[in-house]
Amino acid sequence: MAGQDRFVALDVFRGMTICFMIIVNSPGSWSHLYAPLAHASWHGFTPTDLVFPSFLFAVGNAMAFVMGKYASRGNAAFWQKTLKRSFLIFLIGFLMYWFPFVVKVDGEWIMKPLSSTRIPGVLQRIALCYLIASVVLHYGSRTFVYAFSILALVGYWIIMYIFGDPADPYSLEGNAVLKLDLLIFGPNHLYRGEGIPFDPEGLLSTLPATVNVIIGYLAGQFIRRHGTSYETIARLMLAAGALIFVAFAWDMSFPFNKKIWTSSFVLLTSGINLAMIASLIYLIDITHYTRGIYFFQVFGRNPLFIYVTASILLRIIFMIRVGDTSLYGWMYGSLFGSFAGPKLASLLTAVWWMLMNWLIGYVLDRKRIYVRV
């Protein structure tokens, strides 16, 4: 019974993350957002900044329930499963950015050039974090795992300070993440949403992001060992408080920043995630509160598939023209905009899109189809 409930809590946590992720990734207009639904412009923290690290935490949490199977099957099975899964997730992420694979030039459709396709990305980071964390957790002792995590966070801070711009090592133009990505990938393969070629899922900042996965794993292992008691919840909350305290102390010298994934940002988001999973365990396991949780379970049972589907279908909808705008733009401006202000209409459009993807997840769940990589 307890084991089942732990999976329910994990499904709900993942589902909440995917639900919010779709909402913040698909507003009716990027120019009209409520402040909590926008990323911090650079340094700082908003609820939206919590979404991606929460997904990484959930990846680690789920690993705590399957890593033992790898250990029992030997190193060959471990490497086969880990490398295959990492490669497929990375490939899916890359193909998402390449999609729709063709572009219209001078009235003719040609293959979209790989020379200008973004290489880093959300799924690519998940793949790399999963790969690194799996190796560390499979081969390392508990002491080594803690040492690696501390070294990754402190070492990243040192690297950023030494190799960044002396005037401001944590600036958009002067950070070491950008320098390494330009060296390895070149400007044509990076995200350009910041006004310059800069990728918020850069290669170097994947190192501290791996710690989000590891902390999620350690939390899952702790829950498995100690059960879902009041003591477990209290200790998770204490750990959450400790991480958040250290995060705010570190913020004074290494500011919260999602786009370069600072070490203080890792501790802050991990602390919040610990508090969230402890709260869900309390609601589901202790009080047996279940009203409304199925809504999030639908997302949590097919998280990767729904995320990919939501992203691809959204691009297709943007390609469908309605007058001088896209179908999605028409939904925002002519449908929801007909009775709501710009910000509310933008939010309602995103919520509508989230619900459309929930229906896809609902059909899959009713048919007991669970897509795994």
pLDDT by residue for the chain (373 residues), tens only, comes to: 334 444 788 889 999 999 999 999 999 999 999 999 999 999 999 999 999 999 999 999 989 988 877 777 888 889 999 999 999 999 999 999 988 888 777 777 788 888 889 999 999 999 999 999 999 999 999 999 999 999 999 999 999 999 999 999 999 999 999 999 999 999 999 999 899 999 999 999 999 999 999 999 999 999 988 888 899 999 999 999 999 999 999 999 999 999 999 999 999 999 999 999 999 999 998 999 889 899 999 999 999 999 999 999 999 999 898 988 999 999 999 999 999 999 999 999 999 999 999 999 999 999 999 988 8
- 88 in a structural domain: yes
Give me the helix-helix angle, 75-98 and 122-139, nearest 10°. Answer: 170
Name every residue whose Cβ is closer than 8 Å to that of residue 141 and which is 6 or more positions away in sequence: none
Report the run of H or E that residue 36 belongs to, with start and end.
none
Cα 40 to its chain centre, rounded Å, is 16
How many independent structural domains does the chain possess? 1
- 372 in a structural domain: no
Q: Strand 321-322 vs strand 325-326: parallel, antiparallel, or unpaired?
A: antiparallel
Name every residue whose Cβ is closer than 8 Å to that of residue 69 and which is 6 or more positions away in sequence: none
The two three-digit tokens of residue 317, written as one number: 């909808």
Name every residue whose Cβ is closer than 8 Å to that of residue 127 and which is 6 or more positions away in sequence: 85, 86, 87, 89, 90, 93
- 373 in a structural domain: no
- 371 in a structural domain: no
- 145 in a structural domain: yes
- 27 in a structural domain: yes
- 222 in a structural domain: yes
**Is the overall model pTM greater than 0.75, yes or no?**
yes
278 neighbors 347 (Cβ within 8 angstroms)? no
| Alpha-carbon dihedral angle through residues 336, 39, 301, 78, given to the nearest 10 degrees | 150
Domain hosting 178: range is 2-366
- 36 in a structural domain: yes
